[in-house]
Amino acid sequence: MKILLRVMLVCALVVSGLIVASSNAFQKRFALPAPPTKTDIERGRYLVEEVAKCSECHTPRKPNGELDEAAWLRGAPIWIQPVARIPNWADRAPALAGLPSFTDVQAEKVLEDGTGPNGEELRPPMHIYHMAPADARAIVAYLKSLPAEVH
């Protein structure tokens, strides 16, 4: 009888430990992220400007072909064209500065899942990304730190 009680006690302790551990993991996974830090924004800038090269399509060009830094990431006509016709080819890249057309969650979905904000397929020539959530949040923080176009 004492052995049975000890086994039951050990099982209860193990189950209690698993519940605590899983609830901590649950809280970490679904907790609201802290406000972005300067480091988060700088990491997002690096990913946008040096890795993904978002400005190549999302920033308009001057007549000489250089990027127009005065309109950085404010949307632009797509200047590249496929050699052979590609269905659903986009003719314009949306504005990203200030994230005027997306919620944070929608923008993160595009970056993490490679699908549009409502689950739709992204239009070429947009790249399909499968980023880590921390990288997607850093990019969103950077984009939101940029001034949106004033109308």
Euclidean distance between CA atoms 45 and 108, whole angstroms? 15
Q: What is the pLDDT of residues 5-36, one digit of tens each?
A: 554 554 555 445 545 445 444 444 555 668 88
Q: How far is CA 23 from the centre of its chain?
A: 26
**Token duo for residue 82:** 């496929």
pLDDT band at 148 (very low <50, low <70, confident <90, very high): confident
Q: What is the pLDDT of residues 88-118, one digit of tens each?
A: 999 999 999 999 988 999 999 999 999 988 8
Residue 7: predicted pLDDT: 47
The answer to whether 80 and 126 have CB atoms below 8 angstroms apart is no
* Secondary structure class of 71 (helix, strand, coil): helix
**Token duo for residue 35:** 């406000």
Least confident residue range of 25-34, 64-73, 98-107, 121-130: 25-34
Which domains are delineated in the chain?
36-81+89-145 (1.10.760)
**Token duo for residue 115:** 């699908």
